[in-house]
């Protein structure tokens, strides 16, 4: 029996690189869709170069594909990008690619959306797909608009909403947290109580595999998160355990830490450090999926491997 052929976008990005390796390791044939020629690892079934922002002629790229995994887009870390850019790269490119996939009779379209399509940077409750989406920035709005565009196209789709993703080669907040963990001095973060859900690249790839194999139509968003949210002190403790070090955390009260951050012109860090953003992968659980990685162990292994 011939293995399913998956057309993958974003294969040179942080998440896409891991998806490429995971899908090929799991026996899928993978055809990568690139904006420019790059050197690729062996085992790729093919590569097609084109501009996803103008996907008018994707017939060759999608010919014979069983599924599309769309991980390309303008990342949230690129703060300061105009809202029109997010709309172009995250919404309109997704719409055009999905329309082309529908014309090519691709069975399923898997879109890497984001928890930010559902929520701002913090939430006062554990999020599930039952909560009404309320994005608060251009990135989140562009991802939600892409999901809404998919709902209007005649193709079976899954819009995966991962929480903060960690893994080798990570950038943004998780990379900053790992740098803090590597610092040689104690950290005044022991009093932070907010809890956040995370997902490793391994767990995310496993979720992609689960929706690719789901036998019934999906056509809905699905949160991707590991089972137990963790606090910043627990993250630091796990990372420093992986580095072979003691936690080295000082329990400074959150209010005092907030004042210190304000005095140093870094008030925006308070919500990122102290706020909660916990989510439950209820939809994936209903499909029989459970994250294969426990977050604390995953963070420890990440630091041990060098991040």
Which sign does the torsion angle of CA 15, 16, 21, 27 carry?
positive
Whether the predicted pLDDT of 40 surpasses 80:
no
Whether the predicted pLDDT of 291 surpasses 70:
yes
Helix axes 201-213, 14-25, angle to 10 degrees: 60
State in Å, rounded, how far the first CA of the chain is from the last one.
Answer: 38
Contact 145, 112 (CB under 8 A): no
Listed residue (119, 136, 130, 133) closest to 278, CA to CA: 119
Name the one residue in this structure whose structure tokens are 């999020």. Answer: 127
Residue 262: partners with Cβ closer than 8 Å, 6 or more residues away: 270
How far from chain centre, in Å, is Cα 93? 18
Torsion angle of the four alpha carbons 200, 305, 232, 118, in this order, in degrees rounded to the nearest 10: -20
Whether the predicted pLDDT of 263 surpasses 50:
no
- Give one DSSP letter per residue of 19-43, joined into a string: HHHHHHHTT-EEEEEESS-----TT
pLDDT in tens, 9-37: 998 899 999 999 999 999 999 999 876 55
pLDDT in tens, 162-171: 999 999 998 8
Q: Cα angle vertex 292, ends 172, 181, to 5°? A: 35
Residue 35: partners with Cβ closer than 8 Å, 6 or more residues away: 49, 50, 51, 52
Name the one residue in this structure whose structure tokens are 């082309």. Answer: 100
> In sequence order, what are the beta bridge partners of 158?
110, 220
Residue 132 — φ and ψ, nearest 5°? -65, 135
Q: What is the CA radius of gyration of the chain?
A: 20
Listed residue (177, 231, 222, 219) closest to 204, CA to CA: 222
Sheet holding 5-9, edge to edge: 46-49, 29-34, 5-9, 67-70, 108-112, 156-162, 220-224
Q: Quick one: tokens of 98?
A: 């999905």
Least confident of 78-87, 157-166, 230-239: 78-87
The torsion region of residue 289 among left (phi > 0), alpha (psi -120 to 50) and beta comes to beta
Which sign does the torsion angle of CA 188, 191, 196, 202 carry?
positive
Specify the pLDDT at position 203.
98
**pLDDT, the chain, mean:** 88
pLDDT in tens, 56-114: 567 778 999 999 999 999 887 555 567 888 898 999 999 999 999 999 999 999 999 99
Percent of the chain, pLDDT > 90? 67
Here the contacts of 74-80 (C-beta below 8 Å, separation 24 or greater) are 74/139, 74/142, 75/13, 75/139, 76/114, 76/116, 76/137, 76/139, 76/140, 76/172, 77/171, 77/172
């Amino acid at each position: 029996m011939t293995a399913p052929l998956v057309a993958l976008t974003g294969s040179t990005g942080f998440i896409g690189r891991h998806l490429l390796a995971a899908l090929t390791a799991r026996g899928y044939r993978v055809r990568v869709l690139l904006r420019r020629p790059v050197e690729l690892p062996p085992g790729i079934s093919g590569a097609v170069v084109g501009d996803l922002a103008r996907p008018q002629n994707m017939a060759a790229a999608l010919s014979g594909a069983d599924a599309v995994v769309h991980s390309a887009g303008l990342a949230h870390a690129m703060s300061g990008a105009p809202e029109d850019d997010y709309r172009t790269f995250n919404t309109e490119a997704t719409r055009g690619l999905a329309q082309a996939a529908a014309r090519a009779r691709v069975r399923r379209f898997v879109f890497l959306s984001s928890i930010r399509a559902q929520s701002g940077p913090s939430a006062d409750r554990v999020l599930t797909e039952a909560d009404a989406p309320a994005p608060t920035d251009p990135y989140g709005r562009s991802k939600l608009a892409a999901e809404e565009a998919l709902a209007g196209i005649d193709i079976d789709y899954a819009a995966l909403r991962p929480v903060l993703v960690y893994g080798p080669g990570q950038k943004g907040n998780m990379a900053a947290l790992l740098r803090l963990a590597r610092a040689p001095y104690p950290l005044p973060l022991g009093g932070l109580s907010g809890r956040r859900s995370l997902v490793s690249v391994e767990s995310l790839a496993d979720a992609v595999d689960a929706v690719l194999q789901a036998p019934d139509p999906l056509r809905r968003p699905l949160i991707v998160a590991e089972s137990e949210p963790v606090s910043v002190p627990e993250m630091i403790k796990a990372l420093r355990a992986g580095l072979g070090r003691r936690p080295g955390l000082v329990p400074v009260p959150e209010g005092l830490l907030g004042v210190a951050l304000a005095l140093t012109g870094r008030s925006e860090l308070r919500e990122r450090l102290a706020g909660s953003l916990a989510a439950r992968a209820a939809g994936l659980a209903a499909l029989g999926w459970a994250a294969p990685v426990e977050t604390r162990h995953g963070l420890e292994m990440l630091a041990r491997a060098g991040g």
